[in-house]
Amino acid sequence: LSATTCAGSGCLPVFLEGSVFTVAVASSDQHSPITAHSGSHKATDHGSHNNTGKAFPVLDLNYENVRVPFEISLWVLLASLMKLGFHLVPHLSNIVPESCLLIVVGLLVGGIIRGTGETVPPVLDSKLFFYILLPPIILDAGYFLPIRPFMENLGTILIFAVVGTLWNAFFVGGLLYGVCQIGTESSSILSRIGLLQCLLFGSIISAVDPVAVLAVFEEIHINELLHILVFGESLLNDAVTVVLYHLFEEFSGIGSVTLLKGFLGVISFFVVALGGVLVGVLYGILAAFTSRFTSHTRVIEPLFVFLYSYMAYLSAEIFHLSGIMALIACGAVMRPYVEANISHKSHTTIKYFLKMWSSVSETLIFIFLGVATVAGPHDWNWTFVTVTVILCLVARVIGVVGLTFIINKFRIVKLTTKDQFIIAYGGLRGAIAFSLGFLLNKEHFPEREIFLTAIITVIFFTVFVQGMTIKPLVELLAVKKKQEAKRSINEEIHTQFLDHLLTGIEDICGHYGHHHWKDKLNRFNKKYVKKCLIAGERSKEPQLIAFYHKMEMKQAIQLVESGGGIKMPSAVPSTVSMQNIQPRPSTKPAPERAIPQLSKNKEEEIRKILRTNLQRTRQRLRSYNRHTLVADPYEDGLSDLFLKKQKMFQIEKKLKEMNTYLTVPAPPPDSPTMCRARLASDPQAYSIKPASNKVPMIQVDLASPQSPDSVNLLDEFGQANQQEEEEQGLMMKPPSRPREAKKPSEEDEAKDQQRLMRCLSDPGPSADEDEDGAFLP
Amino acid sequence: MYNYKHYCKNLHKYIHIVDVCFFTVSQEQIKNLYQRFQQLSGNHEKISRDDLERIPALNNNPIRKQIITAFFDKRNQHQNDVGSLDEIGFEQFLMVMSHFRPVNSTATEEEKVTVRKQKLRFLFNMHDTDNDGIITLDEYRTVVEELLSQSGAIETEVARSIADAAMLEVASTNVPHMAPDDFYEGITFEHFEQILKGIEMESRMSIRFLDMNTATMRCGKLSS
């Protein structure tokens, strides 16, 4: 594996810089199976070469043509196999975070390469890292960023990101310079490191790394607030890092600092940050607008999302703006509108692809970190390295504590000491620091190797020591964990209610707070922006209704997935149904359950039909992990089902006049039930003839608690079908007619809703927090 | 300009409310609120519903009627009284505003629970319009309809089904095993607390305005 992967040095950067084409062209001229390249070990001569009359080579070997793609694929394959392997080993992933294991693997691979005498390729080349490996991770994070907690804590996050990083950079850089000057003899190499170089080093090492944070925090499942604080900080400090880096690099090159330049530096910070966000927002709006017209070419919808985001990143990089912020802004802005426009399949595709790419990227980054460590070049200096590590820790702690003290004055929900500890401890450094160090110019920075060694040591320290111990510490300190948030409809109603209430109170007080502006933004969004960017009628659907439909859909799908007659496992087993809630008409003495009793045979037949056409139970993933996806309800088989349901819908429309069979005690021979049974066995059209314009019903047994199989499935089919067509995206029209029977009797209405609500009596599925919620909830 | 003399004369009364309400607020904030009160009432001593309805910013609020009613609801005055007032004075205004205070981080668990109950009670009173102690299905339906009222032509069916689903959820969480013939009357206050325990009411239902420069003048127990 290793011998072939790293033949020669710089195989991957070669690919990027375009010279692979020259290599390929050169080798295609040769017909000889022997490659002249020094690295190839597999050069064998297949005999025919020596004959003057060249025979046609039956078996030829030309490795050079495929070398680069081949090696890239091998690396990716290695990464993926490692990921597989870790989860096969029991208990390993509980103790050691994945990132540590991957770095160890990288070390091993690097070691093997070294051992075989090859030069280790500089795989963590900055171009590869910044243009290929980093964007998927950031896009994944940005697209699924939980907007509401992010916005609510934006002030705190910004203060940590900007002020915290600045503090760290200057503290570490300054003190390091002091130590170098004072603590060592004047002839040692350390004393030759200038202040600017130290400050530059400080700015590189002080930025909290989003990749490392994501990798570690994913596994510890802490509560949302802490997660968003540390993660948000790691994303937003990119602007600061970019500015500081370029600033100090400029200054080191030129050699002199003036006040004007310092002032320009401050200005450039705002330009970088806001410019990055602006670029991202622009591309986000473009993407949203494009998605409005994609209803006829659903297949390439995901591509637009990826392309626009990547372009946003690259465009920002052209102007030295913050690419990360552009990417985040683009993803966050486009998401609510795009999701309203695209089909469900596209949405799934986007989700899958983003998760896949970011997963692979992350794995590769850590492996490469390990390989790059072996590659060197290193210059170990005990003083420098240890001082750096200690200073980083101290700076982080002081920074967090100090800033929290100030921030808590403005927060309603204060940050406790435990929170502060986790925030400080969670400030991990990662591959971004290494890549930035790698980018340093050797001429301006003769001490580049010392820097690189120190950076790697800090990275190792944070990832290994802090990464491994944070999980037990979280347990020990009993930090609040992430709740399995099952967003119930009551909570949703009341969240909205509270929003309006607080806005109203603020208006009465005359106080233009936070709710007031949020409300204004919401209204602006609804009035103008949504109309522009969302196709068709979906732009008008209020959030509560969207939420409700989503919930209904999820439950319908769950019901289908559980394969028919099996009772849904619900958190709160309950026999409550709609019947219990509906106010009883006072004239009736007691509600009669005028449920037609189907004979057992019919029941069985119907159930069998259902089972043969439905999917098996799927295991639902309980907690949300960035690398796993919630069970996707839309398997291929199910789409067929939906098509059939559409047919059903059309038939139903034609059968509006049919009476409900509910009033009939037992199904007569030609009842809809029988027709249905006959039809259903017809493989061509699994279309249920509904008994009325209402929801089709296969009513097995309504409300009897004794029969555990009393689940009505097709009710949900009808509902879901009427509400959703394949091509309609995630928003649904409100169910209009079908709920009302033509001549509703009170009973029927109650029964009807009961039928529907029976399914809803099971508390909702775990709300996928990354797909819930509109842009401005 | 507010009537400074009047304000000073009654300041002790207002501070008394503060004590009774367990209201951590500063004099500065009382003054600001008093100014606003005067502004709303046109320098009279009491405000009526019309005064509140004239606030232009409230026009876009889907639940403005309920909010305004809540100010005039006697139940929110901590006096075990029912019915509604026609006009309220500054004391009653303060009383209502006190429901939106944030909880001090130094508060004990017990205090937090009390505050939370108070806020939930306020919400409950807003829903329970006929004051029978339970939120019936009709009342809940009205709530949802009002919430959705600003969103254009929404068919009432949808609002009803949302309310029904929500009610069902409350019933199944709180009374999981009901026989088919039982009737779930409505959401009682205990059930209401139960279903909203996921939302951190102490922090969600508060106005930041009341939190700035808090001089902690707490004393006395809540008399509710």
| Contact between A334 and A319 (Cβ < 8 Å) | no
**Secondary structure (DSSP) of A416-444:** -HHHHHHHHHT----HHHHHHHHTS-TTT
**Buried b / exposed e across A467-490, counting CB within 10 Å, b at 16+?**
bbebbebbeeeebeebeeeebbbb
pLDDT for res B181:
66
pLDDT for res A316:
92
Select the residue from A501, A508, A772 to test the B interface by mutation, using most B Cβ atoms within 10 A: A508
Structure confidence at residue A87 as a pLDDT band (50, 70, 90): confident
Q: Pick A728 or A520 by higher pLDDT.
A: A520
CA dihedral A496, A501, A504, A508 (to 10 degrees): -160
Q: Pick A637 or A443 by higher pLDDT.
A: A443
Q: Pick B27 or A600 by higher pLDDT.
A: B27
**A502: nearest Cα among B103, B131, B205:** B205
| Contact between A600 and A697 (Cβ < 8 Å) | no
Least CA distance to A414: which residue of chain B? B105
Q: Average pLDDT for residues A430-442, to the nearest whole number?
A: 84
What is chain B's length? Answer: 224
Structure confidence at residue A307 as a pLDDT band (50, 70, 90): very high
Whether residue A710 lies within 8 A of chain B, CB to CB, comes out as no
- Residues in A touching B124 (Cβ below 8 Å): none
Select the residue from B168, B183, B203 to test the A interface by mutation, using most A Cβ atoms within 10 A: B168
Amino acid at A564: G
Structure confidence at residue A692 as a pLDDT band (50, 70, 90): very low
Whether residue A412 lies within 8 A of chain B, CB to CB, comes out as yes
Structure confidence at residue A182 as a pLDDT band (50, 70, 90): confident
Q: Do A412 and B123 touch (CB under 8 A)?
A: no
Measured from the Cβ of residue A76, the count of other Cβ atoms closer than 10 Å reads 14
Torsions phi, psi of B73, nearest 5? -85, 125
Domain limits of chain B? 1-136+185-216
Q: Average pLDDT for residues A760-777, to the nearest whole number?
A: 42
CA dihedral A490, A495, A496, A502 (to 10 degrees): 140
Flag the least confident range among A717-726, B114-123, B145-154, B179-188: A717-726
**A759: nearest Cα among A669, A667, A697:** A697
Whether residue A571 lies within 8 A of chain B, CB to CB, comes out as no
Q: Which of A498, A575, A757 is opposite residue B164, by nearest beta carbon?
A: A757
- Residues in B touching A576 (Cβ below 8 Å): 168, 171-172, 175-178, 184
A243 pLDDT more than 50 = yes
pLDDT for res A157:
92
Q: Do B148 and A542 touch (CB under 8 A)?
A: yes
Check the CA dihedral A530-A531-A537-A542 and report its sign.
Answer: positive
**What is the least distance, in Å, from the CA of B57 to any CA of chain A?**
6
Flag the least confident range among A517-526, A604-613, B199-208: A604-613
A631 pLDDT more than 50 = no
User: What element of type H or E holds A183?
Assistant: helix A165-183
Question: In chain B, which ranges are continuous DSSP H helix?
Answer: 4-21, 27-41, 49-53, 64-71, 90-97, 109-127, 137-147, 156-174, 189-195, 201-204
Q: Pick A756 or B186 by higher pLDDT.
A: B186
d(CA A261, CA A250): 10
Q: Average pLDDT for residues A282-300, to the nearest whole number?
A: 89
Q: Do A505 and B151 touch (CB under 8 A)?
A: no
Structure confidence at residue A137 as a pLDDT band (50, 70, 90): very high
- Average pLDDT over chain B reads 73
d(CA A467, CA A475): 14
Q: Do A500 and B102 touch (CB under 8 A)?
A: no
Tokens of A515: 């709710």
Tokens of A465: 């020591």
| Number of Cα atoms under 13 Å in the Cβ half of residue A291 | 31
Structure confidence at residue A277 as a pLDDT band (50, 70, 90): very high
Tokens of A447: 């001490």
Q: Which of residues 684-703 of A touch B (CB under 8 A)?
A: 703
Select the residue from B31, B143, B208 to test the A interface by mutation, using most A Cβ atoms within 10 A: B208
- Residues in B touching A511 (Cβ below 8 Å): 207, 209
3-state secondary structure of A731: coil
Q: Average pLDDT for residues A603-614, to the nearest whole number?
A: 62
Flag the least confident range among A5-14, A255-264, A378-387, B152-161: A5-14
Measured from the Cβ of residue A17, the count of other Cβ atoms closer than 10 Å reads 11
pLDDT for res A164:
92
Cβ contacts from A onto B, under 8 A: 198
d(CA A321, CA A275): 6
Q: What percent of chain A has pLDDT over 90?
A: 11
Q: Do B208 and A575 touch (CB under 8 A)?
A: no
| Contact between A610 and A713 (Cβ < 8 Å) | yes
Q: Pick A522 or A460 by higher pLDDT.
A: A460
- Residues in A touching B168 (Cβ below 8 Å): 576-578, 581, 757, 760-761
The pTM score is: 0.67
B222 pLDDT more than 50 = no
pLDDT for res A729:
42
Flag the least confident range among A144-153, A251-260, B186-195: A251-260
d(CA B57, CA A503): 9
**Interface predicted TM-score (ipTM) of this complex, two decimals:** 0.86
Least CA distance to A591: which residue of chain B? B181
**What is the least distance, in Å, from the CA of A707 to any CA of chain B?**
13
**What is the least distance, in Å, from the CA of A410 to any CA of chain B?**
8
A336 pLDDT more than 80 = yes
Q: B1-136+185-216, which class in CATH?
A: mainly alpha
- Residues in A touching B166 (Cβ below 8 Å): 489-490, 493
Select the residue from B161, B194, B212, B213 to test the A interface by mutation, using most A Cβ atoms within 10 A: B161
Q: Average pLDDT for residues B4-8, to the nearest whole number?
A: 62
Least CA distance to B147: which residue of chain A? A497
A727 pLDDT more than 50 = no
A490 pLDDT more than 50 = yes
Q: Average pLDDT for residues B61-89, to the nearest whole number?
A: 79
Cβ within 8 Å of residue A408, ≥6 positions away? A414, A415, B105
Question: In A7-122, which ranges are continuous DSSP H helix?
Answer: 11-16, 19-29, 63-88, 92-95, 98-115
- Average pLDDT over chain A reads 71
Whether residue A595 lies within 8 A of chain B, CB to CB, comes out as no
| Contact between A735 and A723 (Cβ < 8 Å) | yes
Q: Which of B126, B172, B180 is opposite residue A761, by nearest beta carbon?
A: B172
B23 pLDDT more than 70 = no
**A280: nearest Cα among A336, A330, A338:** A330
A720 pLDDT more than 50 = no
pLDDT for res A294:
84
**A280: nearest Cα among A235, A332, A318:** A332
pLDDT for res A400:
93
- Residues in A touching B100 (Cβ below 8 Å): 502, 505
pLDDT for res B202:
74
Measured from the Cβ of residue A409, the count of other Cβ atoms closer than 10 Å reads 10
Least CA distance to A577: which residue of chain B? B168
- Residues in B touching A705 (Cβ below 8 Å): 179-180
Q: What percent of chain A has pLDDT over 70?
A: 62
Q: Do B180 and A506 touch (CB under 8 A)?
A: no
- Looking at residue A190, the DSSP 8-state letter turns out to be G
Least CA distance to B192: which residue of chain A? A490
pLDDT for res A256:
64
Check the CA dihedral A174-A177-A181-A185 and report its sign.
Answer: positive
Q: Do B169 and A490 touch (CB under 8 A)?
A: yes
- Residues in B touching A590 (Cβ below 8 Å): 181
pLDDT for res A640:
55
Flag the least confident range among A9-13, A243-247, A322-326, A494-498: A9-13
Q: Which of A544, A573, A577 is opposite residue B162, by nearest beta carbon?
A: A544
Over residues A372-412, the pLDDT tens digits come to: 888 767 778 888 888 889 999 999 999 999 999 998 888 87
Q: Average pLDDT for residues A555-578, to the nearest whole number?
A: 60
- Residues in A touching B137 (Cβ below 8 Å): 581-583
Amino acid at A550: K
Burial class for A636, CB neighbours closer than 10 Å (0-12, 13-18, 19+): exposed
B171 pLDDT more than 70 = yes
Select the residue from A483, A488, A494 to test the B interface by mutation, using most B Cβ atoms within 10 A: A494
Q: Do B195 and A491 touch (CB under 8 A)?
A: yes
pLDDT for res A606:
66
pLDDT for res A545:
72
Q: Average pLDDT for residues B92-115, to the nearest whole number?
A: 78
pLDDT for res A575:
59
For the ranges A164-173, A562-571, A601-610, the one whose mean pLDDT is highest: A164-173
Q: Average pLDDT for residues A83-95, to the nearest whole number?
A: 80
Q: Do B165 and A757 touch (CB under 8 A)?
A: yes
Q: Do A507 and B58 touch (CB under 8 A)?
A: yes
Measured from the Cβ of residue B152, the count of other Cβ atoms closer than 10 Å reads 10
**Buried b / exposed e across B103-138, counting CB within 10 Å, b at 16+?**
bbeebeeebbebbbbbbbbbbbbbbbbeeeebbbbe
